A and B are shown apart, each in its own frame.
Chain A
Amino acid sequence: MLLRLLGVSKRFGRDWVLKDLDFSLERGEVVALLGPNGSGKTTLLRLMAGLLKPTRGRVERLGRALLLSDPPAFHRHLTAREHLLYDLAFHGREGDFAGALRRFGLPEGLPLQAFSSGMKKRLALARLLLLSPEVWLLDEPETALDAEGRGLLLEVLKEARGRGGVVLATHDRALAERVADRALTLGEA
C-alpha cells in the first residue's frame, strides 16, 4: 500500500469540504477522483500530498508523493531547462532533463513567461516523470493539452502506474474510464 486515509475530514471555517473519508491506494493502481467543481477534489489531493492537515482523521503516506497542480506553478523568469535542473537538485535526483524536454516538445532556453498553458502542463508532466514519485497526485492534468499533449499524458500515466500509484482528479469521464482501475466520486449525496 502506498497511501491510506482513515476517517479524514477537512473543514475551512464553518464549511466541511470532506467528511469521514476512507481511502487507500495500492502500488500499480490508478484511481480517478471525480466530482463537480467545489466537491473537494483539490483539497483531497493536497491532503494526500501533505500540504494540508486534516481537521479530523489521519493520512498515512508510505511512498514519496508529488502533486501536479492545476495550473502548474513555475517561476516565469526561469527557463524550462533551469527549472528542471533546480527541481532535480532540490529533490536530490539526477535525470536526463534534455531528453525529457525533447520528448515533451519543449524549448530549453525560453523563459516560462513565454510558455502557453499547454506547454506549462507538458513541462509539469516532464518534471513529474524526472522526479519519479511513488504516489502521483494529478489535478486535472488533461486541461490545456492539445491532442499530442493528451497522448503524452496517457504515456505518463502508463509509466506512473509502473512506478507507483496514481490519483487522478478529472472532469473528463472518458479519460477516467480509459485509464483508471476504479473511481472515487466526491460531492455525492
Chain B
Amino acid sequence: MRRVLLLALRDLRLEVRDRSGLLSLLAFFAVMLFVMALALGPEEAPLRRAAPGVLWVALAFMSTLLSSRAFALEVEEGTLDDLLLTPGGKEWIYLGKLLFQLLLLFPLSLLALLVAAGLFYLPLERGLPLLFTLFLGVLGYASVATFYAGLLARLRGREALLPLLLFSLVVPVVLASVRATAGLVEGLPVAEVADWWRLLLVFDVVYVTASALLFPVVLEG
C-alpha cells in the first residue's frame, strides 16, 4: 500500500510541477462546458434537462485524457522500465496510477459540478447524494481507463486507440451515472436512485479487481 500511495503522490507532484497537462485539461473542460451551454440556448428547462449528460461527458473526457497522461509521464521520460524492474507483483503500479487519477479527478469533479450548477441550472440541494454518484461513476470510469492506458502505453497511436477500446466497456458506467444524476436532479427519492448506485458499485468492484489482476499480464507483453 505504501508503494501505491507513493507512486500516486509522485505522479501528482510531477503533474503539478509540469503544469501543462493540468492546464490543457482545465481549458478543454471549460471550453466544452461553455460550448454546450451556448449550443443548448438560454432556456432553463432544456439546460437543466441536459445537465447530467453534459456533466458526465465532460468527466468522461477528462478521465480519458488523464489516464493517458498517467502513463505518458513514464513513456515520455523512458521511466516505465524502472517501474517494471521493481520486485514483486506489478498490481501496485496499476493501483498507484489509478489513485493518482482519482486524486485529481475528485477535485475536478467538484469543480465540474459547480460549473454545471452555474451554467446548466443544476440544483445542488442534494449535494451529498450527487457527490456519492460522482465518486462511484468516476471510480468506475477511471478503473477501466487506467487499465487500457497501461495496455496501450508503449504503442504508437495510443491516443486514438484508447477512446475506441475504452468507450465500449464504460458505457454501463456512464449510463448508470447519468441516470443516477438525472434522478437526483429530478427530485426522485434516494431509494429509487439507489438502484443505480448499486449497479455502479458492482461495476466498480468488478472493474477494479479484474483490472488489477490482469494489469501485470498486459504489462509483460
Which A residues are within 8 Å of any B CB, using their own CB? 49-51, 53, 64-67, 69, 73-78, 82, 86-87, 89-92, 111
Contacts and interface: CB of A to CB of B under 8 A. Distances in A.
26 contacts: A49-B81, A50-B84, A51-B85, A53-B220, A64-B87, A65-B85, A67-B81, A69-B81, A74-B79, A75-B14, A75-B77, A75-B79, A76-B77, A77-B13, A77-B14, A77-B17, A78-B10, A82-B13, A87-B82, A89-B2, A90-B6, A90-B7, A90-B83, A92-B3, A92-B87, A111-B17
B43 interface: no
Interface in B1-30: 2-3, 6-7, 10, 13-14, 17-18
Contacts, number: 54
A86 B10 contact: yes
B73 interface: yes
Contact of B6 (A49, A76, A77, A86): A86
Nearest to B19: A77
Contact of A73 (B2, B6, B10, B77): B77
A74 B74 CA distance: 9
A69 B6 CA distance: 24
Interface string B83-102: 11111100000000000000
Contacts of B17: 77, 111
Contacts of A65: 85
A51 B13 CA distance: 27
B78 interface: yes
A49 B86 CA distance: 11
Contacts of B87: 64, 91-92
Contacts of B14: 75, 77-78
Interface of B: 2-3, 6-7, 10, 13-14, 17-18, 73, 77-79, 81-88, 220
Contacts of A66: 85
A137 to B, nearest CB: 10
A45 B121 CA distance: 60
Q: Which of B6, B77, B220 neighbours the largest number of chain A CB atoms within 10 Å of its CB? A: B77
B85 A89 contact: no
B103 to A, nearest CB: 16
B57 to A, nearest CB: 31
A78 B11 CA distance: 10
B87 to A, nearest CB: 6
Nearest to A85: B6
Given A65-B85, A67-B85, A91-B87, A77 B18 contact: yes
A92 B87 CA distance: 8
Contacts of A92: 3, 87-88
Contacts of B73: 75
B157 to A, nearest CB: 17
A88 B82 CA distance: 12
Nearest to B73: A75
Contacts of B18: 77
Given A67-B81, A86-B6, A89-B6, 18 more contacts: A49-B81, A49-B85, A50-B85, A64-B87, A73-B78, A73-B81, A74-B77, A74-B79, A75-B73, A75-B79, A77-B17, A77-B18, A78-B14, A86-B10, A90-B3, A90-B6, A90-B7, A91-B87
